[in-house]
Structure 1
Amino acid sequence: MRGLNGVIRRGFWVALLAVASLLVACDAKNISELEEGVSTEADVRERFGAPEAVWDGEDGAQIYEYNRQPEGHVNYMITIGADGRMSALRQVLTERNFARVLPGMPMEEVRRMLGKPMKITTYDLKRETHYDWRYMEGSNRIDSRVFTAVFDPDLRVVRTMSVSDPELERNR
């Protein structure tokens, strides 16, 4: 029975990677069809659909969140200016953004910066809540990792960490 469970688990992981690959391929095509300063809000919604969340930006802009967690390794923030045109399209799960997550930062600010996490886990005895995001590290983009922001009971960052993706490690 143990062998069968391993086969099922590997099959699940292969299927999950296939879905993630399709998302990446669709995203790449959709992104290539959009141009900053030219594409409109309607163009963005036509290619990406309804956003996961909409955040207020500067000078009347709106920031659309397009989440690819837990299957994917990216989250997009697309800024629509007050003129209704796309002014920025950014993949936000980057080591540079993770370095900006500092102790004392409120959860809402982290959530706005990184998008919806792949998983939220509460540890009652430790009085901590962990928000996890899956991402790809480095220029070769083949090392799946998990960035974790640890929050206290007031939902303020206590610390952060990044580890190899445990799901990937389990299925090797």
Structure 2
Amino acid sequence: MRSAMDKKWRTVPGLLALLGLVGLLSACDPQNISELEEGVSTEADVRERFGAPEAVWDGEDGAQIYEYNRQPAGHTNYMITIGPDGKMAALRQVLNPRTFAQVQAGMPMETVRRMLGKPMKITTYPLKRETHYDWRYFESPGVGESKVFTVVFDSDLRVISTMSTRDPDLDRGR
């Protein structure tokens, strides 16, 4: 019979491999993006370069929005819009101060999730009746200090407040 410690160590190589894969995917993003052109590239082109999306959201006028998440290790989340004609209409990196400014008190969690993609971490504080969603990002694209944007939700999963802080993992030598 294997101990709990044995099980833990069997999963560490898998976790390291997954983190390495996320790093490789993030490193490939600039190359993949440079090979795509709005209004020209097709859904097949997007899937060939980025793979299957994390989520697919309904957009306006029959468009679909593909979410490509680079959390928890990365600093980006991409939303790629595929128009009803099957062509890429937009490619946006949504983890940035401009998008964060659109998050308003009272917004439902689902709306925030569609705007920002899957968070890096979700923490529930039962005594405070709050849930915090965190996303890691760079203040300036690809450079600068790593930060964390937090959206605080009430027990009905409606936005109470938002904040940005220095990435606490930087203090742990990450």
Give yes or no for TM over 0.5. Answer: yes
Q: Is residue 62 of structure 2 the alignment partner of residue 60 of structure 1?
A: yes
How far is the alpha carbon of 1:138 from its aligned partner?
A: 2.9
Distance 1:131 1:78 in 2: 22
Distance 2:79 2:167 in 1: 23
Counterpart pick for 1:23 among 25, 39, 42: 25
| Corresponding residue pairs, total | 158
Counterpart pick for 1:121 among 120, 123, 126: 123
Q: Aligned with 1:54: secondary structure? A: strand
How far is the alpha carbon of 1:24 from its aligned partner?
A: 3.0
Aligned to 1:35: 37
Q: Aligned with 1:96: secondary structure? A: helix
Judged with a 3 Å threshold, the aligned counterparts in structure 2 of structure 1 residues 129 and 49 are, in CA distance, closer, same or farther, namely same
Mapped contact 1:19–1:71 kept (Cα < 8 A): no
Q: Is residue 112 of structure 2 the alignment partner of residue 110 of structure 1?
A: yes
Aligned to 2:13: none
Mapped contact 2:54–2:67 kept (Cα < 8 A): yes
In percent, how many aligned pairs have the same letter? 77
Q: Aligned with 1:110: secondary structure? A: helix
TM-score by length of 2: 0.85
Q: Aligned with 1:59: secondary structure? A: helix
Distance 1:87 1:31 in 2: 13
Mapped contact 1:74–1:91 kept (Cα < 8 A): yes
TM-score by length of 1: 0.86
Which shifted more, 161-170 or 77-86?
161-170
| Paired letter, 1:151 | F
Gaps of 5+ in 1: 1-14
Distance 1:138 1:39 in 2: 27
1:5-20 matches, within 5 Å, as: none
1:12-52 per-position Cα deviation (integer Å, ceiling 9, x unaligned): xxx99976653332001110111000000000001100000
Judged with a 3 Å threshold, the aligned counterparts in structure 2 of structure 1 residues 112 and 82 are, in CA distance, closer, same or farther, namely same
1:81-123 per-position Cα deviation (integer Å, ceiling 9, x unaligned): 0000000000000100101111101000000000000000000
Distance 1:144 1:18 in 2: 19
Distance 2:91 2:116 in 1: 13
Counterpart pick for 2:49 among 35, 47, 50: 47
Aligned to 1:166: 168
RMSD: 1.8
Distance 1:79 1:58 in 2: 10
Judged with a 3 Å threshold, the aligned counterparts in structure 2 of structure 1 residues 39 and 49 are, in CA distance, closer, same or farther, namely same
Aligned to 1:97: 99
Gaps of 5+ in 2: 1-16
Q: Is residue 149 of structure 2 the alignment partner of residue 147 of structure 1?
A: yes
